[in-house]
Structure 1
Amino acid sequence: MAPGIALVFAVVGFVALAIAGLGLTSLILDADVIQTPGLGQIPGVIGMLLATGGFAAALWFGLRAPHPTFWTALGTALCAYLGEVVGVAVGALISGRDPAAGFAAAGGVAIGWPGVVLALAGLVAGWGGIALVRTRAGRPRWPWERDE
């Protein structure tokens, strides 16, 4: 598969895994993703945007290689994690809240379960994107479409 198409599929997969993972883990643990009260939705939205951007940039860098390696998936996980942490801090500052509360929220994401969920989503989706490029399979064919 072409690297650009694999990147699109992997980014969509990352966003789906991240949102589902955060939602289900939040439901199971009965805890908010950002536990600092009064910040609103802006830090979470900006965090997710930066996590997605970091994931996509790291994966694109890895997919441009002639033979992409699965070690790139570790980089995608790290960039997604760091993007979320930085995005929550920046989002809290943009929303006009107390900077200490914003950094506390970013720290809570960094050392808590949301960071782990996003890193795992980045790892799985990054591995999938690399696998799409490395796999040399063709499209499925009916028996009468073969050339023999």
Structure 2
Amino acid sequence: MPECPAVASHLVSLSWEYKMGLIQTWVWVGGMFFLSGAMHIVGLLGSPRRTAYNTYMDDPTALSWIPFNRMIAFGGIILFIGVIMVIYIVLELAFFAEKGEEQFPVAEVSEHPGRTPAILENWKLWVGILVFLIIMAYAVPVMDMIHTDSPWSKPWVTW
């Protein structure tokens, strides 16, 4: 177990990319706290989902949602800042960060390594299982969309 000064010196010597990554993570957590928390509360108060902003003719119940809608907007702004930060970090690391020479081993090789089972090395099998699961998940909704006229019907005019 390292001593406290060793741990402190390690934390001080962290690269700015690592620190920026930690900051971006906490910015994202904060944005999700405000956005999703307010959305949950407004949903429990009865606000309909997937609708345009409306006060429903200044109904008191709908007007009570306004502070939470502001919290949702605030959380969205914080999340947008987090997205900008992660894009900046990825671009910086991909194109401008200095390239390291040190290799970090994932695990030590055993003295008597066993053979990997052939089934785990068979990519055709795993891709086939993946395709099968995707087809099982999407077959019913896609067939329903094909058999009903909704994708090609004229849209409703609501005004």
Considering only CA atoms, is the larger Rg found in Structure 1 or Structure 2?
Answer: 2
More helix by share: 1
Q: TM-score w.r.t. structure 1 length?
A: 0.29
Give the number of the structure with larger relative contact order, counting CA–CA contacts within 8 Å between residues 6 or more apart. 1
Q: TM-score w.r.t. structure 2 length?
A: 0.27
